[in-house]
Amino acid sequence: MTIQSSLRRTAVRVLIPILHRRNFRFAGTQFSVDEGVLNPTLFRASLIFARECRRLAGEKSSDILELGCGCGLTSVVLTLDGHRVTAIDNSLPAIRNTRANAQTSNANVRAVCSDWDTALKSALKFDLVVTNPPFLPSRPPMLEQALWGGPDLEIVKAALAAAKRRIRPEGRILLLTSEQSGRSEVLGAIETTGLESVNNSVVRHWGERLHLDLLALFPCS
């Protein structure tokens, strides 16, 4: 473990009791976060991701799939923006949290508890698939299921495979990862899945570089 990653782990343990907000507002909408569900006010990459998803989706109504919805932040605001959104998470508490936040906001989100896209009908496709999967390369001190990318980024690879199965031929995928994931490893996973990055933007957050990759199918895929 590097000194930087060790300091980051220590900072997480110290700051969580200070920064934790169970209830918060985002894009004019009220959200609550249940116990055991990743809290966007602590791990603010989720807020960055939600803003980029809204920008990318635009104003034209489209079919959107979120893989790994957590408390439902991104799915709810996209639905309120006029999109038709399916939200998936393999955590039942996260799905319940998403449904509660959607109900509070009168957002018609279809929230499904599923191991990636396995619960969806095979023919169901989307214009845009967005995913902020667990991407940390080592086990974190808390919320391992929501943060650790698994050995060799197997969670990121599984998210990419599910996203590829679900996009329409001209569709796009938005993937958020971190410099901690290993940029070459992430690009390798993208290529191996049969996808290509058509645009990459980098956002700095707490001294960390977050990568937002817009992906498309290879022409031969």
Convert the pLDDT of each residue in 104-134 to its tens digit.
Answer: 999 999 999 999 999 999 999 999 999 998 7
| pLDDT number for residue 144 | 45
Provide the pLDDT for residue 153.
Answer: 83
pLDDT in tens, 179-205: 877 789 999 999 999 999 999 999 987
Burial of 112 (0-12, 13-18, 19+ CB in 10 A): middle
The CA angle 134-141-154, to the nearest 5 degrees, is 30
Q: What pLDDT, on the 0 to 100 scale, is given for residue 60?
A: 94
Task: Give every residue of the chain whose pLDDT is below 50, as ranges.
Answer: 1, 14, 18, 141, 144, 146, 148-149
Residues 6+ apart with CB under 8 A from 60: none
Closest CA to 114 of 143, 137, 92: 92
Do 206 and 178 meet the contact criterion of CB atoms below 8 Å apart? no
pLDDT at res. 152: 74
For residue 171, the model assigns a pLDDT of 97
Q: How far apart are the first and last CA of the chain?
A: 38
Q: Which fold has domain 3-217?
A: Rossmann fold (3.40.50)
Pairing mode, if any, of strands 63-67 and 29-32?
unpaired
What is the residue extent of each domain of the chain?
3-217
